[in-house]
Amino acid sequence: MIKAVIFDLDGVLVTTDELHFSAWKRLAEELGITGFTKADNARQRGVSRMASLEVVLEKTERKFSDEEKLALAEKKNDMYVKSLESLDKSAVLDGVFDFITYLRNNQIKTAVGSASKNTPVILKKTNLADKFDAVSCGLDTQKSKPDPEVFLIAAKKLGIEPSECVVIEDSDAGIEAAKTGGMYAVAVGEAEHNKKADISVSSIGSLNRIIEVFGR
């Protein structure tokens, strides 16, 4: 039975996952790392900025102090935030607006559950800011996915039990977080083949039977 749907942001609601990849790739190149690939980027999906940096630094022998790591993460974030300047609602993935309308018409609550500290600005620029009943993001949390904290905070803000929430995720870390938190998990896009998810779909556009799947 479902009463709420919690959406991951990057790669589920919007295409910002591509912008994260470009910014990390540029940082890697500045550090002399030439082989930073989409496969490396896949391991950054859903995890925190500092954990994402470690994925980049694994590819070099160089050692960095904690201060230097913070400076590198800030540098990447500056590049990423700059690339968000031109973001608008065309970055919203196919089927998202219609799916949110469908959920609202069926009295199912909606929330965002994202590791990103840039969530508020992204929601605003893409016209998504007023579409959700609650937002939980990297600004609210102490632990990052696969810890379930970000989704448990979303459920709490909604006033809905975790067992009545469905999480939609494009990352393995996010699917694991949803299941550890006692929620249903729907894998989309890059996470489509994740075996821990309750169901998998190629895009949100194919989710319009979600109520029939999970019941209410």
Give residue for tokens 């919203």: 92
190 lies in the site for Mg ion, by CB under 5 A: no
CB of 8 to Mg ion, least distance (A): 4
8 lies in the site for Mg ion, by CB under 5 A: yes
Residues 120-179 that bind Mg ion (CB under 5 A): 170-171
Contact status, residue 200 vs residue 187, Cβ threshold 8 Å: yes
What stretches of 1-126 adopt beta strand conformation (E)? 4-7, 109-113
Give the C-alpha separation, 139 to 109, whole Å. 21
Asked if the peptide bond before residue 146 counts as cis, ω within 30 degrees of 0, the response is: yes
Q: Which residues are catalytic?
A: 8, 10
Among Mg ion, ligand B16, none, what does residue 176 contact (CB within 5–8 Å per kind)? none
Among Mg ion, ligand B16, none, what does residue 160 contact (CB within 5–8 Å per kind)? none
Exposure of 171 by Cβ count < 10 A (0-12 exposed, 13-18 middle, 19+ buried)?
Answer: buried
With the C-alpha atoms ordered 11, 41, 146, 198, is the resulting torsion angle positive or negative? Answer: positive
Residue number, 9 or 204, with CB nearest to ligand B16: 9
CB of 60 to ligand B16, least distance (A): 19
Residues that bind ligand B16 (CB under 6 A): 8-11, 17, 20, 44-49, 52, 77, 114-118, 138, 171
Among Mg ion, ligand B16, none, what does residue 44 contact (CB within 5–8 Å per kind)? ligand B16
